Structure 1
Amino acid sequence: MNPPEPVLPAALAGLSEQHRTRLGNFAVAVRFAPGEPVFREDEPATRCWLLHTGSVVLSTVIPGRGTVVLETVHGGDILGCSWLAACPRWQFTAHAAAVTEATELDVVALQATAADDPAFTYAVTRALSEMIVARLHSTRARLLDLYAGRSPE
């Protein structure tokens, strides 16, 4: 049985058809089983994932406290934004919490296109950045809910 074709999320619908088709060259459909590691903290960040279904837990080790879950991302979210940093290394560890289907993007190969086709690279980076900004807004809303009504200490 052949693996499914990668599917680009609606959030990338703003890309031209030509750019969506070209982005497909950097994409592969993947599936993670529950408990399967997606990436580990401090390893090189060379991929990102556009989650379709399932959920992935982000965690880190805090000295004296052990492994702490920081966030869970779900279908519709982007996973793996560390590739945008000057020194692209994973800041957390990620494990699938449930069967998770995603489109995996090879961001190293994508970034290599910058010299050949800066308009394509800019359009894709801009679209992915919009997904990241949406996630930051969601995180902000969760933090406001978490700390709402608490008096300062």
Structure 2
Amino acid sequence: MGPNPLKFCEELLCGADLAKGSRVCDLGSGSGITSVMLAREYGFDVYAVDLWSDPAENRAFFRRMGVPDGQIHPVKADAAEGLPFEQQFFDAVVSIDSYNYFRRDPRYLGEKLLPYVKPGGRIYLSIPGMVRDCHDALPACLLASWTPEQLE
């Protein structure tokens, strides 16, 4: 749903040591485009967790994208309240441009997210931002992916 989630996902997982078939939570998956990438490009067993997206709509999208049923599991859940899974369920959690939306509580990571990650598992977070304001002279590399309105 945010700006260029596929690029963020690709850069975030560059060099990641997750095996094909790993159980991955796409936390804040939105419409599911990153879930499709995680399933198709990396071969993960993906749980697409989002508060606002309709699981039936996401499932239909996954099918249109050619992802077999059972490789991506759409789940409607409020991550701020915890997740509806067994503890130590995931090999990894991937969160692209969403972690900051559901909790700024400093205890969230340890109390509401880490319990669902297996020992030795990984958490990959990507939150876009600017190092300095560049709105008066937008770089061409940003305009290749984002419109001036999105950057505003």
TM bucket, shorter chain? under 0.3
What is the TM-score with the length of structure 1 in the denominator? 0.27
After TM superposition, the score normalised by the length of structure 2 is: 0.27
Which structure's residues are more often strand, by fraction? 1
Structure with greater Cα Rg: 1
